[in-house]
């Protein structure tokens, strides 16, 4: 079986929490050849910890010295997704890139142009598409269980969960909870709806609570990169959103890092024949006698990060388009950028 030669760029928390551990379990499929991080100590530490032969301080240096690398796995902060992906694509490498696609649509478009021109495979690592319940939902949806899905609601809401460091700096993060966690909720729900064409968005973003936390800043996972707290917090702390799609379909979405309410992460989908919610997967239907039914479907959980990364390499093996290609990523980035544009003018705006 072919082993793909891979380099990871950005050796911070998501690389340490999800990507390196997945590669440890995929040694039959993947050979880690090199790593890079602008903080060279992080690259060195990762190389030592995972037995990776070479480490560098930039993607450019890595590409110049490691011509045999076939795949760049981009786990940098958000504003670096574009330069890293473009450099990789220009060098003919396939790219797996962490969410969100980019800090803004302009960067996302430049990435898509480079990927298209190079003819390489690009996959956005939107892990929640790869959950076992979501994949089961797709199976049921495609078998016609839900009929026409015309409405959805979604939220990713933390009560007190402002991440530290660059996440609150617009120049590096592109935005706040909308781009950081709202993307999981919105991307997943739009994908599950069957990717309807967005036509407009109406949104408000707010900054009213921010880092005014009673508890420490949010951290997750192990091996978090050192995140000094810059005195910069120039992004929103929550958002409320309404998307319209073609054929009169709609999605209501919410994202927050700090709010005085319950923690939530959900997608609810409503079709003409049945609806659905997750955790556990539940189908709200009507039987042949007109009786309302709530059917819980048992689905064995999975490690959706590993599932996602394995999917990327099986697409490379088979020359297939990934479940989360750059075309989808661009549509979702348009929707996310639209949230900010609408909030800025306090009015509904069109999405082309």
Q: What separation in angstroms does the CA of 339 have from each of 65, 91, 201, 206, 234?
A: 41, 34, 6, 12, 16
Q: How far is the CB of 185 from ligand NAD (least distance, A)?
A: 12
Q: What separation in angstroms does the CA of 110 have from each of 70, 89, 98?
A: 21, 11, 16
- The answer to whether 234 and 168 are in contact (CB under 8 A) is yes
What residues numbered 169-208 form the site for ligand NAD, per CB under 6 A? 180
Window 217-246: contact mask with ligand NAD (x via CB under 6 A): --------x-x-------------------
76 binds ligand NAD (CB under 6 A): yes
| # chain residues binding ligand NAD, by CB under 6 A | 28
Q: Which is nearer to ligand NAD, 53 or 230 (CB)?
A: 230
Residue span binding ligand NAD (CB under 6 A) among the ranges 75-83, 151-159, 244-252, 295-303: 75-83
231-269 exposure pattern, b = at least 16 Cβ within 10 A, e = fewer: eebebbbbbbbbbbbeeebbbebbbbbbbeeeeebbbbb
State the greatest distance between any 2 C-alpha atoms of the chain, in Å, as a whole number. Answer: 68
Residue span binding ligand NAD (CB under 6 A) among the ranges 8-16, 85-93, 201-209, 211-219: 8-16
Q: Between vectors from CA 18 to CA 301 and to CA 58, what angle results, nearest 5°?
A: 160
Q: Which is nearer to ligand NAD, 39 or 140 (CB)?
A: 39
Q: Which is nearer to ligand NAD, 76 or 205 (CB)?
A: 76
What residues numbered 279-318 form the site for ligand NAD, per CB under 6 A? none
3-state secondary structure of 174: coil
Give the chain's length.
Answer: 352
3-state secondary structure of 239: strand
- The answer to whether 87 and 81 are in contact (CB under 8 A) is no
Which distant-in-sequence residues (6+ apart) come within 8 Å of 209 by Cβ? 237, 238, 258, 259, 260
What residues numbered 24-43 form the site for ligand NAD, per CB under 6 A? 36-39, 42
Q: Which is nearer to ligand NAD, 11 or 281 (CB)?
A: 11
Calpha distance 221→224 (Å, rounded): 7
3-state secondary structure of 160: strand
335 binds ligand NAD (CB under 6 A): no
127 binds ligand NAD (CB under 6 A): yes
80 binds ligand NAD (CB under 6 A): yes
13 binds ligand NAD (CB under 6 A): yes
98 binds ligand NAD (CB under 6 A): yes
322 binds ligand NAD (CB under 6 A): no
75 binds ligand NAD (CB under 6 A): yes
Full 3-state SS string of 47-66:
HHHHCCCEEECCHHHHHHHC
- DSSP H or E stretch at residue 255: strand 250-256
What residues numbered 241-260 form the site for ligand NAD, per CB under 6 A? none
Q: How far is the CB of 247 from ligand NAD (least distance, A)?
A: 31
Q: How far is the CB of 196 from ligand NAD (least distance, A)?
A: 24
Binding interface with ligand NAD (CB under 6 A) = 9-15, 36-39, 42, 58-59, 75-78, 80, 84, 98-99, 125, 127, 165, 180, 225, 227
């Amino acid at each position: 079986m072919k082993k793909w030669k891979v380099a990871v760029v950005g050796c911070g928390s998501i690389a340490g929490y999800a990507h390196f551990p997945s590669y440890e379990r995929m040694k039959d499929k993947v050979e880690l050849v090199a790593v890079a991080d602008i903080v060279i100590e992080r690259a060195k530490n990762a190389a030592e910890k995972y037995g990776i032969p070479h480490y560098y301080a930039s993607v450019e240096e890595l590409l110049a010295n490691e011509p045999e690398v076939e795949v760049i796995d981009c786990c940098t902060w958000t504003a670096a997704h574009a330069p890293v992906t473009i450099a990789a694509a220009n060098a003919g490498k396939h790219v797996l890139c962490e969410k969100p696609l980019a800090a803004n649509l302009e960067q996302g478009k430049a990435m898509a142009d480079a990927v298209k021109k190079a003819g390489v495979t690009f996959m956005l690592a939107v892990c929640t598409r790869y959950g076992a319940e979501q994949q089961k939902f797709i199976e049921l949806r495609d078998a016609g269980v839900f009929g026409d899905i015309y409405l959805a609601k979604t939220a990713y809401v933390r009560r007190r969960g402002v991440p530290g460091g660059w996440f609150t700096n617009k120049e590096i993060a592109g935005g706040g909870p909308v781009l950081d966690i709202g993307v999981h909720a919105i991307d997943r729900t739009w994908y599950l709806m069957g990717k309807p064409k967005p036509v407009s968005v109406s949104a408000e973003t707010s900054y009213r609570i921010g880092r005014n936390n009673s508890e420490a800043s949010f951290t997750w996972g192990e091996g978090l990169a050192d995140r000094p707290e810059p005195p910069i917090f120039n992004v929103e702390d929550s958002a409320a959103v309404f998307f319209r799609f073609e054929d009169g379909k709609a999605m209501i979405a919410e994202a927050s890092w700090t709010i005085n309410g319950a923690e939530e992460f959900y997608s609810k989908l409503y079709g003409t024949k049945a609806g659905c919610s997750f955790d556990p997967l539940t189908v709200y239907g009507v039987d042949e006698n007109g009786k309302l039914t709530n059917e819980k479907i048992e689905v064995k959980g999975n490690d959706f990060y590993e599932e996602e990364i394995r999917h990327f390499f099986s697409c490379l093996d088979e020359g297939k388009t990934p479940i989360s290609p750059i075309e989808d990523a661009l549509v979702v980035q348009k929707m996310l950028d639209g949230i900010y544009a609408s909030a800025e003018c306090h009015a509904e705006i069109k999405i082309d």
